[in-house]
Amino acid sequence: MTYSFNDSFRREVASRCAAFSRLPENDSTRGLKHSAVAIALTDTQDGSGGAAFLMTRRTRDLRAHRGQWALPGGRCDEGETPVEAVLRELDEEITLRLEATDVLGILDDYATRSGYLITPVVVWAGSEPRLRLNPKEVASVHRIPLTEIMRPDAVEFVTIPESNRRVIRVNINGSSIHAPTGALIYQFREVLAGRATRVDDLEQPVFAWR
């Protein structure tokens, strides 16, 4: 599969997301606080015509997860669906204004150790989106080429003494992205490759348990 940012690629991603069957909610996830994040597809902006997705770097002034890499998104407001929350958060964080018609699919929820159930929503952000960052939340925004996460050495799994579940690391631009963000990126990678790989069994590193 190629990753040229064009209408053909948009249809291909939408088709693969439509073929993906999400895991149903179960007793272990009921009662968790709901949040949603965007896997926002755009162009690489390097003249190659390639496809990328957006990642942000959180500011160091935030109370939680300061300075960390993240997918745009946040907690769902009362009565909001994950799609509604993602569209609102994209606007609030990076002034990316999209419509429900820009949603290509929804992947599996991921339950965090800190009590959140995160829903990843795949959206089409278009080429050259005009972004303006909310300085209270976002320090920078980056376009990560899809070829970066499709490399054979982009994903690795390690074990830790505190859990019998594997910890995932997605290696991007010299940084290791752990779960939950790393798990969501990994599942999107697998969907792109035509594989329905589950990530609910992947562990977060101990520093992210709180």
In the predicted model, is pLDDT for residue 66 greater than 90? no
In the predicted model, is pLDDT for residue 64 greater than 80? no
Mean pLDDT of 177-200: 96
In the predicted model, is pLDDT for residue 17 greater than 80? yes
Q: How far is CA 109 from the centre of its chain?
A: 11
pLDDT of residue 210: 74
pLDDT of residue 61: 67
pLDDT band for position 208 (cuts 50, 70, 90):
confident
Q: What is the mean pLDDT of the chain?
A: 93
In the predicted model, is pLDDT for residue 200 greater than 60? yes
In the predicted model, is pLDDT for residue 146 greater than 80? yes
pLDDT of residue 86: 98
Mean pLDDT of 21-30: 88
Q: Which of 18-22, 43-47, 156-160 has the lowest mean pLDDT?
A: 43-47
pLDDT of residue 63: 57
pLDDT band for position 174 (cuts 50, 70, 90):
confident
Domains of the chain: 7-150 (3.90.79.10)
pLDDT in tens, 102-144: 999 999 999 999 999 999 999 999 998 889 999 998 999 999 9
pLDDT of residue 128: 84
